[in-house]
Amino acid sequence: MHIKEKVPIIVYDNQCYLCVKFAKMIEFLTRGNLTMIGHYSEFGLKLRQTMLGESALEMFWLIDEKTAYGGRAALLPLLRAIITTNGRNSNKIKMGENCEQECKTVKAVFIRSASLFSTSKKIELQ
């Protein structure tokens, strides 16, 4: 499977309750026109190994044709994708949620929200 066929792609932590809720909100706002990939899925593992690197699990990612945006750097491209994405992405990869962490507490909400704004990475794709 080629990445170019699936973009734009959201890569999120599919073992975290809050992250899954965030991904579902994005999916709703984009009317299901983004490919949603879990970090711990088979395809998510391949993405981490080939292009995102070791720090991939620290943040969510938005991958488009030219760039992979992580964390804070992904917020503006995500807003752009929400506004401009049309029905061109017909191939979907759906991942189930499997929360294995204590992420429903107030502390977890604060930590996840703070990490969204404190981590940022941008990777140019060849």
Q: Is the pTM of this model over 0.85?
A: no
Percent of the chain with pLDDT over 70: 73
Q: Provide the pLDDT confidence category of residue 5 given band limits of 50, 70 and 90.
A: low
**Predicted local distance difference test score (pLDDT) of residue 98:** 56
Q: Interhelix angle for 17-29 vs 106-118, to 10°? A: 60
Structural domain of 37: 3-124
Q: pLDDT tens digit string along 27-74? A: 888 888 888 888 888 888 888 888 888 778 888 888 888 888 988 888
Tell me how many domains the chain contains: 1
Calculate the average pLDDT of the chain.
77
Which residues on adjacent β-strands are paired with residue 52? Answer: none
